[in-house]
Structure 1
Amino acid sequence: MKKLLLRPAAKPLVFAASLLPFAWLFYAAASDQLGVNPAEALIRSLGDWTLRFLCIVLAVTPLRVLTATPSLARFRRMLGLFVFFYATLHLLSYAWFDMGLDWGDIARDIAKRPFILVGSTALLLLSLLAATSFNRAIRWLGAPRWRALHRLVYAVAGLAILHFFWMRAGKNDFSEVAVYGGVLALLLGWRVAHHWRQKRRAGRAAAGPAAGARQA
């Protein structure tokens, strides 16, 4: 598996697989297979795929560390951009099918309905992460500031779950919210714990030479 992940064809295959949900939804919409309310089905499905790709992206680092497979990291940027891709389509579908691309009505609706405001804020943060996901941005910002900026993914995850929770609150249906919330909480908790473990190791490594120097 580790050798397969390093092959040149691996990235195109992951890219093609990530486009499959979009291709299916496009086909289902064109062939009238989205049920009695196709607009709502399309908007909800794109939102679901945004959350799924967010879970996949956040799972990359735990899987990379736990399976000792550093080559998984080469797919993280692409998968992160697919989170942004599906989130953008989710918002555009709402703007087009629900609001008829009337930007005045859209602005009023965002201000009136908190769950849309929260979702729009999450997309704004995702836009910032997508715009700074490239090597040139890393060089321009510097690695420490870039890493600090991309910790906004934690805020994106929290806002995404809150958006989903408020959207389902009207129907009193929280089963899927609990599943996504549990998965994201587990993944984010692992990342936080791993970050602090790394800081402690770095602190101990720095304290070792310092103690040796004092003894000398």
Structure 2
Amino acid sequence: MDRTNGITLHELTKTWPQPGGAERLTVFSGLSHTFPPGSRTAIVGPSGSGKTTLLQMVAGLEAPDGGFVEAPKAPELGYVFQSPALWPHKTVRSNMRYGLGEHLFSGADPLEEARYRDILQALELEDLQGKYPATLSGGQAKRVSLARTLVTRPSCLLLDEPLGALDGALKDRVLDFLLEWVHWTEATLLYVTHDHGEARRICTRVLEVRDQGLVEVG
């Protein structure tokens, strides 16, 4: 199997400390799973169940207590955090182009420029390019964070509640574009959400964090 943009979990174990020095809580125990290249998988479950922790372990931001993960590294792996992590001193335009390596980006590459423009338009950010993160609404900041990752065209995409602050009509438009983008790039997608309808619309499999592992629910 081509693992250049697939993800494989090998016997992952993860525990969390408890208040007062109580016995650590086991979140995952012996979790093994393969997400094949180009697969689209939603991860659902209640708040605090370990969905974000799973993405962080895949991204290498959180170390498991046991086992290991096979996954691409940045820039082949793109991660959109639940809380937008934008550079406060950079404009929307600069935040987006940072993903392309703004210090190297000259606009001379027509393909990069076209990709930037397409994503800017699809996520309805054209009028916000000169604004700074502190002036953006929650939904606008979410879209900028998503755009900054998409412009790099990663082969593996981790999304943590990427549309949580968007209203219904805009969410639908962004979701349509995101599904089109994933089809076009053939990226492997792990999509964390509380919205099961949203999960089934963009993903072909839905896994729930349950019983210290992942259980298929759709």
Does TM-score exceed 0.5, indicating one fold?
Answer: no
Bigger proportion of residues as helix:
1
By relative contact order (CA 8 Å, sep 6+), the higher-ranking structure is: 2
Radius of gyration: which is bigger? 1
Bigger proportion of residues as strand:
2
TM-score where L is the length of structure 2? 0.30
